[in-house]
Structure 1
Amino acid sequence: MPKSAERAVEDFARDLTALRQDVAHLVQAIGELVKHQTQGAGLRLSDGVREAKAKISGAAADAQKRVRAASGELEAGIEHHPFTAVLIAFGVGMSFGMISRLRR
């Protein structure tokens, strides 16, 4: 084999080795990029869950305050007008009784 052909084969072998190393570095860099992107997405998701949890907790606390306030108003109304409360309860009971009788 002529020397120029041998030199060309050696050059080709060196280029192929360099190309393999470059591909290996590229694969490693892409792997690290994907890893960082995944971690970032996980953090964003975690933040979103934390915010949603805080909003739900706030809404639940607000609803609980409203129920307590309504309950307090209802109790105060019953204390101030006990006879009216008894008549309303009697009327509601009679209505349920009549409706259940009609369904039989």
Structure 2
Amino acid sequence: MADSNTPNTNADIDKLKTDLQSVREDIAKLAHSVGDQAQNRARAGADNLRQAAGSAGEELQAASQRMEGQIASHPYASVGAAFGVGLLLGMALERR
């Protein structure tokens, strides 16, 4: 005796399989999309970091040039300041 619900059950199982496959495909697309977004954000962050590093390098170079100009303009004061800083550091490290 065949059950009268068998054709409907088989159809429901086939529909469920189709729906499950659709969900798998949607999840794969979503994962791919999320991966692409993460990669784009990482690239943007790296670009921002490179720009910031470049700007910091330029500022450091400019400050170095200004300091060299000050030292050349006032050599005795520069030696005195360096001596004073060295003396203070020596005293601070000796206390440790």
TM-score (norm 2): 0.90
Say which one has the larger Rg: 1
Bigger fraction of residues in helix: 1
User: Aligned residue for 1:79?
Assistant: 72
Q: Which runs of 5+ in 1 are unaligned?
A: none
For 2:84 and 2:25, the matched residues in 1 are separated by 73
Cα distance change on mapping 1:100 and 1:32 into 2, 3 Å: closer
State whether structure 2 residue 63 is matched by structure 1 residue 70. yes
AA in 2 matched with 1:32 = E
User: Aligned residue for 1:32?
Assistant: 25
User: Aligned residue for 1:53?
Assistant: 46
State whether structure 2 residue 37 is matched by structure 1 residue 44. yes
Identity of paired residues, percent?
A: 27
Give the C-alpha shift of residue 100 in structure 1: 3.5
For 2:11 and 2:91, the matched residues in 1 are separated by 92
For 2:16 and 2:92, the matched residues in 1 are separated by 80
Across the aligned residues of Structure 1 and Structure 2, the Cα RMSD in angstroms comes to 1.7
Give the C-alpha shift of residue 37 in structure 1: 0.4
For 2:63 and 2:18, the matched residues in 1 are separated by 67
Moved runs in structure 1, 4+ residues, more than 4 A? Answer: none
Give the C-alpha shift of residue 85 in structure 1: 0.7
For 2:92 and 2:19, the matched residues in 1 are separated by 77
